[in-house]
Structure 1
Amino acid sequence: MLIEDRLKDLKAKIDAKVPAGIKVSEVEFEGPELVIYTDDPKKFADEADLIKILARELRKRIVVRPNILEDPEIAADKVNNVVPEDAGITDLFFDPDTGEVLIEAEKPGVVIGKNGTTLRDITKEIGWTPKVVRTPPIESSTVKQTRQYLRAVKDERKEFLRTIGRRIHRDITSKDKWLRVTTLGCCREVGRAAFLMSTPESKILIDCGEKPGNNDGYPYLYVPEIYPLNSLDAVVITHAHLDHCALVPLLYKYGYEGPVYSTPATRDLSVMLQLDYLDVVANETSKVPYSSKEVQQYLKHSITLNYGSVTDIAPDVKLTYHNAGHILGSAIAHFHVGDGLYNIAFTGDFNYAKSRLFGPATSQFPRLEAVFMESTYGGSNDMQPSRKDAEEKLYEAVNDTVNRGGKIIIPAFAVGRSQEVMLALEEGMRLEKIPKVKVYLDGMIKEATAIHTTYPEYLNPDLRKLIFQDGMNPFLADCFEQVDSSSKRGDIIGSGDPCVIITTSGMLNGGPVMEYLYGLAQDEKNMLIFVGYQADGTTGRRIQKGWKEIPLGRRETININLEIKTVDGFSGHSDRKQLMAYVNHLNPRPEKIFTIHGDEKSAIDLASSIYKRYKIETHAPRNLETYRMV
């Protein structure tokens, strides 16, 4: 059936269900959604269950949009006239993709009004669907610039979404039924995550990252199965760490024109980290893999999904994201292939324990035949201490160093570990477990923290309550101070005052941490504390192994005299015990498990242990292997 004929058929079914008095003027596929255009969006809204009924019967994601959306500038004035001034509106973002206006306000309840009356008045006045969120306690320049850019390219995005929508909802032409996964990176190693999932109808790339500490650490993107890149139906990102998303913009440089799916938080964090990645690479080598123009292309082609939203991304594939508990917006990607043919999940990095920031990873799925799961700490001896024990060890290290007049360097990923360590240090000072000293934040840490407060729905309920109900935001504590210049770094290094420095990069692969190491490494009063995984080939791993001289550029070396300490337990990865518990709690239990994202020994050990204990077929794949699932 032609797409036009299918749309006519869908419109006829919708017309038959819509009550008299509501006119549907047009239906159109836009990205993964079926958009219903009408002059009566308010009447649609009054029919509370109508959209749910249509979505269930048509098996599509339904969006209702007015035929004519009020001009954003005029609409903004009308919103401000309708909403009482004491609501404290701080921003209005009109999203033409969804027909929604995001209203940021200091008092969301005032914008909503009693029983939602003010929201209904807004809809009547402007036609846009209002969505209200609390003003983030820390403003994010990344979020602001992302919204401005998406507003600027709204017409191009509309055309793109219509093109993609028709591609997603094309007819299935093949009579064959099979599913294959090709490993393009991240197998028996940590980093450069990339997997190609193929059916007779579609091709989907899951993640596209770089390998830390390796200049040639790209996934195997030259294999014939993936070419031409524009034959891909979709790219799906599990989370924003660079070993999973750094090279997504590279795809646009070499011909990809399709969508990239992620959670909203992952989109914003990945853009921030990709731009920072370009700066770091440019400072270390003249060979940058892509430019900021390709990052903009990625952003223009991004489609965001919330946890639990079942979405068509190809004619025979539905995607659902579930919480992975690893970093802000991190997701387990669950794919439903064919009409009940097969269900497969890719965990990305995940944490099956509650942390200060997030709840534990999801282990319950509607159906599940195969899982590709990380094995970073999959070795039989890879046990992490409890978070409480880890924090006590951190406090002990801080006390020891401060008492002898030293400074503490904590290299940490800007996203995830930095915020966990910040929360632990803030509480330690508040409860007088450690002295009140300055905690300097360098690199992208402050901006990443701002994005955390923009998306409070991803944070665990305890932290949300602390920030938004109790009015005590630990991220804004007086002890934290941002560092944004090399001269300020020099002042911190030269100062005689003890302090804590949390800085990027987490594995000492360039970035501000190298300046601190150069200035502080020779003094044995100081301390370097590792709080996250150090991959093979990185400067961090070399220091952890006991190297006393670290090359800095071609001529200089850094002599390591400061004390080195590793504080396990802050990682966003599950340890061996949690990985095994996760498999035990998977419901339904899969038929096959593939252990990835771990060094060779860890991946093989975990696969072997899962098979022995649970009698599940397991594999520790190598790169460039293809597995037929069904």
Structure 2
Amino acid sequence: MKLIDLNREGGIGANCLLLELAGLRILVDCGLNPKQVGRAATPDLARLRELPLDLIIITHCHLDHIGSLPVVMREHPSTPVIMSSSSRLLIERMLRNSASVMKRQKEEENIPDYPLFSHAEIERLRGRMMGLAFGQAKRFRGHHSGSEIELIFHPAGHVAGAAGVELVHKHRHIFLTGDVLFEDQRIVPGAKFPSGHFDTLVMETTRGDTDSSDIALRGDEFARLVKSINDTIQRGGSFLIPIFALGRMQEVLTVINDARKFGRLVDCPIYASGLGMDLVDYFDEISRKTRHIHFNRSIVKDLQLQPLPRKLEAGKDPQQNALYIISSGMMVEKTPSNTLASGLVGHARNTIGFVGYCDPDTPGGQLLASKPGDSFLFEKAGVKTKVKARVERFELSGHADRDHLLQFAVQAAPRAIVLTHGDAPARKWFSNQLTEQLPNAKVIDPTPGEEYQV
């Protein structure tokens, strides 16, 4: 098998792998790098332009895995796209939101390349996207080679619809973990991957730099979150949870609903808004149709969720003594969570509680790195304030801890292992451990754009 990482920057960004297996060219994911803009945010798709592409596989619907999909589908008009049946229910809504965000960015920041695709184009492409049930084998024949491969999706935890990908050609088995979490989340069961030998394993490495002994149990972290919310409300403050729309919002809402149902959450107004609220209906549908997740949209009514006030004023605390669950998760500039935080941070009664990964270069990452009393600039909101509010992080990652992932890799005893989706220190840890524990395996940490014979 040949493999090229088309993610220009490597690390975690515009995830995109080109595989050549038995003469078939297969693209796995086609994401958008959240740190870049315009064409620079896409994978290096120029490498595909002169090549026929037999199949596009999508592992899950986070934008770092699907954000450039319409671009590559436009350039390869006959290539089918396959994903899990749950991802198929989500993908158009995620892409439409991305198109709207890019259109707004073009107007506000004058980015010439944006939007990379339109709502109308998503509508035109929808017929080429197909869903496949977990555990169901599907055969694909190459247009030019005539060779045949078999594809099977396996539940990967992480987020609704996330899939590990098993590819079989004759007696050869290749497995791609995609983004994976083996631990059960509140609404998404943990990964159920096949055990036993694979010839090649392509694996994510996101948490390779985080010692497993430092990771708190998910249930304990949610209990700590509820306790912190109660404390904040009782001292007259407001609690902001900057939230990721796909997966994290629905999980947090479910946990908050459980806490209220069992009398563990103080009474207070709860405001929730953003794409995550739209996705509540989609998660409800996935739960009913596939039974792969456990979610019910009735929590919106049970929690008496209120929409965010129409006009949030930057730098002003609304003083609602409320819980806010709003996007974006990294508190990106010009999002509701950023605007609201600019008014909350300067008051000791308030708390900002992060429940997901924050890139150090984003406002969320910068706030987490700040100390009480530091000056903090909300640049595009035009607000500079002292950090007086409590700023907390709750360990609720959607990615497997490194020991679980290492254990899976070692039991698979592959001949070759390819490292993806991780920063340099994370990959280095996996590379060292795998070399030590599987001395006969070839461990590859691919340089972007280079072709590897695996």
Same fold by TM-score, threshold 0.5 exceeded?
yes
Shift of 1:424: 1.6
Letter in 1 for 2:329: G
Tell me how far apart the structure 2 counterparts of residues 613 and 560 of structure 1 sit (CA, whole Å). 49
> What corresponds to 1:542 in structure 2?
366
SS in 2 for 1:529: strand
> What corresponds to 2:305 in structure 1?
481
C-alpha spacing 1:595/1:418, structure 2 compared with 1 (3 Å): same
Shift of 1:597: 0.8
Letter in 2 for 1:577: D
Tell me how far apart the structure 2 counterparts of residues 228 and 557 of structure 1 sit (CA, whole Å). 49
> Which stretch of structure 1 is more off in the superposition, 247-256 or 370-379?
247-256
Matched, 1:621 2:446: yes
Check the 8 A contact 2:12/2:422 in 1, yes or no.
Answer: yes
Q: Report 1:449-488 matches (<5 A).
A: 449-456=280-287, 458-459=290-291, 463=294, 475-483=299-307, 486-487=310-311
Shift of 1:590: 2.0
Matched, 1:381 2:211: yes
Check the 8 A contact 1:186/1:194 in 2, yes or no.
Answer: no
SS in 2 for 1:399: helix
> What corresponds to 2:91 in structure 1?
270
> What corresponds to 2:64 in structure 1?
243
SS in 2 for 1:513: helix
Shift of 1:265: 2.1
Tell me how far apart the structure 2 counterparts of residues 403 and 484 of structure 1 sit (CA, whole Å). 21
C-alpha spacing 1:522/1:459, structure 2 compared with 1 (3 Å): farther
Tell me how far apart the structure 2 counterparts of residues 460 and 548 of structure 1 sit (CA, whole Å). 46
Q: Report 1:386-425 matches (<5 A).
A: 386-425=217-256
Match for 2:265 among 419, 422, 434? Answer: 434
Tell me how far apart the structure 2 counterparts of residues 497 and 482 of structure 1 sit (CA, whole Å). 12
Q: Percent of pairs identical after alignment?
A: 23
Check the 8 A contact 2:8/2:449 in 1, yes or no.
Answer: no
> What corresponds to 1:571 in structure 2?
397
Match for 2:325 among 492, 502, 522? Answer: 502
Q: Report 1:540-619 matches (<5 A).
A: 540-546=364-370, 548-553=375-380, 556-559=382-385, 561=387, 562-568=389-395, 570-584=396-410, 586=411, 588-615=412-439, 616-619=441-444
SS in 2 for 1:277: helix
Shift of 1:458: 4.9
Question: 1:326-360 CA deviation, whole Å, 9 max, x = no partner?
Answer: 111111111113x22x2212211110111211222
> What corresponds to 1:328 in structure 2?
160
Match for 1:296 among 110, 117, 123? Answer: 123
Shift of 1:508: 2.2
Tell me how far apart the structure 2 counterparts of residues 351 and 186 of structure 1 sit (CA, whole Å). 25
Shift of 1:367: 5.7
Shift of 1:566: 0.5
Check the 8 A contact 1:205/1:234 in 2, yes or no.
Answer: yes
Tell me how far apart the structure 2 counterparts of residues 558 and 319 of structure 1 sit (CA, whole Å). 53
SS in 2 for 1:261: strand
C-alpha spacing 1:476/1:459, structure 2 compared with 1 (3 Å): farther
Match for 1:357 among 187, 207, 210? Answer: 187
Tell me how far apart the structure 2 counterparts of residues 552 and 254 of structure 1 sit (CA, whole Å). 38
Count of aligned residue pairs for this structure pair = 432
5+ unaligned residues in a row in structure 2: which ranges? 143-147
Question: 1:82-124 CA deviation, whole Å, 9 max, x = no partner?
Answer: xxxxxxxxxxxxxxxxxxxxxxxxxxxxxxxxxxxxxxxxxxx
Shift of 1:475: 2.5
Tell me how far apart the structure 2 counterparts of residues 548 and 293 of structure 1 sit (CA, whole Å). 45
Tell me how far apart the structure 2 counterparts of residues 412 and 622 of structure 1 sit (CA, whole Å). 32
Tell me how far apart the structure 1 counterparts of residues 266 and 416 of structure 2 sit (CA, whole Å). 50
> What corresponds to 2:145 in structure 1?
none
Check the 8 A contact 1:441/1:502 in 2, yes or no.
Answer: yes
Letter in 2 for 1:556: G
C-alpha spacing 1:540/1:228, structure 2 compared with 1 (3 Å): farther
Q: Report 1:10-409 matches (<5 A).
A: 179-185=1-7, 188-199=10-21, 201-215=23-37, 216-223=40-47, 226-228=48-50, 231-284=52-105, 285-287=109-111, 288=114, 289-315=116-142, 316-337=148-169, 339-340=170-171, 342-364=172-194, 368-381=198-211, 383-409=214-240
Check the 8 A contact 1:407/1:526 in 2, yes or no.
Answer: yes
C-alpha spacing 1:228/1:579, structure 2 compared with 1 (3 Å): same
Check the 8 A contact 2:156/2:193 in 1, yes or no.
Answer: no
Tell me how far apart the structure 2 counterparts of residues 253 and 309 of structure 1 sit (CA, whole Å). 28
Tell me how far apart the structure 2 counterparts of residues 396 and 556 of structure 1 sit (CA, whole Å). 33
Letter in 1 for 2:263: E
SS in 1 for 2:339: helix
Check the 8 A contact 1:210/1:217 in 2, yes or no.
Answer: yes
SS in 2 for 1:572: coil
Shift of 1:431: 2.0
Shift of 1:460: 5.7
Shift of 1:325: 0.5
Tell me how far apart the structure 1 counterparts of residues 420 and 103 of structure 2 sit (CA, whole Å). 30
Letter in 1 for 2:158: H
Shift of 1:266: 1.1
Which is helix-richer, 1 or 2? 1
Letter in 1 for 2:450: E
C-alpha spacing 1:300/1:512, structure 2 compared with 1 (3 Å): farther
C-alpha spacing 1:611/1:350, structure 2 compared with 1 (3 Å): same
Tell me how far apart the structure 2 counterparts of residues 614 and 412 of structure 1 sit (CA, whole Å). 39
SS in 2 for 1:602: helix
Check the 8 A contact 1:187/1:620 in 2, yes or no.
Answer: no
Letter in 1 for 2:259: G
Shift of 1:314: 3.1
Structure of higher RCO (CA pairs closer than 8 Å, 6+ residues apart)? 2
Shift of 1:485: 6.3
SS in 1 for 2:368: helix
Letter in 2 for 1:274: L
Tell me how far apart the structure 2 counterparts of residues 503 and 617 of structure 1 sit (CA, whole Å). 44
C-alpha spacing 1:296/1:286, structure 2 compared with 1 (3 Å): farther
Tell me how far apart the structure 1 counterparts of residues 178 and 117 of structure 2 sit (CA, whole Å). 24
Question: 1:174-228 CA deviation, whole Å, 9 max, x = no partner?
Answer: xxxxx211111187511211000113622111001112232233212122xx223
> TM-score with structure 2 length normalisation?
0.87
